[in-house]
Amino acid sequence: MELWYTEQHTDNVRFSILVDQQLYQGQSDFQRIDVFHSKEFGKFFTLDGLMMVTEKDEFIYHDMIVHVPMATNPDIKRVLVIGAGDGGTVRELCRYPGVEHIDMVEIDKLVVDVCLEYFPSTTVSLNDPRVSIFYEDGLKFVRSRVNEYDLIIVDSTDPFGPGEGLFTREFYGNCYHALKDNGILVNQHENPYYDTYQHSMKRAHMRIKELFPITRVYQAHIPTYPSGHWLFGYASKTIDPIKDLKGDAWTSLNLETKYYNLDLHVGCFALPNYVKELLDHATE
Ligand code: SAM
């Protein structure tokens, strides 16, 4: 008998992984959580049947969501991370000695508890003294914050269920106010290839563009996410991710990274024509 995890990427496309064992299944107030073990990807977990993190390819997502903004401004000291209950984003941020404080706001405590048990490699820095964890809705948390952060990372689920509010105009507007003048906002920006995700991607881009003078989109190749082609949004009031890149300062930190490097930093902002077109004509 074979056990397969199958995820519906579109009405017509399914993605499957051969599973050795299901290690956990639970339901929180917000979502269903499953943990599996597979030969190809090691352990992985899903929320409401959607892939979140696999041991084999999580380095790609976490390198790109953290090192792109951190190399752009290695002076970042105060960071707000929204979502990210698996801990991978906080792990990468904690490698920077200059980061003084990280507020992590995860709506679902069960995600963190399950990840602490099954994913020691991503949760390794959640107990770093610089990290404060709040179990709250990120949409509400950011409402009361003004001029506080150098970097906000939105490491959320997709724009339905608990993650929906993190793709709204209200949320992006509050992030704008929560950031200092040289602040940077980075968010997971969905995939450009399939129609259903295209819509969320275009809407998010348009809403961020209405607020921030500098907005760019960059890409990475993540095998277990729909289509394998994933985008991230970059926005700032003043700092351009390429013109203002502090490559020498980042190199002097001697951080070993498995995916990110400075060539890729510049290259990841070069988008395929069809993606540029989608973003240029982004509407609600
Ligand atoms: N890398 C992942 C991806 O894109 O598939 C995202 C990982 S992380 C596990 C996403 C987290 O965002 C989840 O744990 C979820 O509970 C959290 N989340 C969703 N909506 C949220 C909200 N409104 N406020 C705070 N956290 C939220």
Task: Indicate whether residue 158 lines ligand 1 (CB < 6 A).
Answer: no
CA torsion angle for 109, 111, 112, 114 (degrees, to 10)?
A: 120
Q: Which of 156, 189, 191 to mutate to test the pocket of ligand 1 (most atoms within 8 A of CB)?
A: 156
Q: Are 147 and 29 in contact (CB under 8 A)?
A: no
273/159 Cα distance (integer angstroms): 25
Task: Indicate whether residue 57 lines ligand 1 (CB < 6 A).
Answer: no
Q: Is pTM, for the whole model, over 0.75? A: yes
**282 — pLDDT class (breaks 50, 70, 90):** confident
Which ligand 1 atom is nearest residue 141's CA?
24
79/152 Cα distance (integer angstroms): 6
List pLDDT tens digits, range 112-146. 999 999 999 999 999 999 999 999 999 999 999 99
Task: Indicate whether residue 103 lines ligand 1 (CB < 6 A).
Answer: no
Which residue's C-alpha comes closest to atom 8 of ligand 1? 84
pLDDT at 284: 67
Domains defined for the chain, CATH in brackets: 3-54 (2.30.140.10), 58-280 (3.40.50.150)
Q: CB-based contacts of 145: which residues, under 8 Å, 6+ apart? A: 80, 174, 177, 178
- Would you say residue 218 has pLDDT above 90? yes
Work out the angle at residue 162's Cα, subtended by the Cα atoms of residues 169 and 91, and round it to the nearest 5 degrees.
95
Q: Are 90 and 125 in contact (CB under 8 A)?
A: yes
The lowest-confidence range among 19-28, 193-202, 204-213, 246-255 is: 193-202
Helix (H, G, I), strand (E, B) or coil at 209: helix
Work out the average pLDDT over 68-77.
97
List pLDDT tens digits, range 43-54. 999 999 999 999
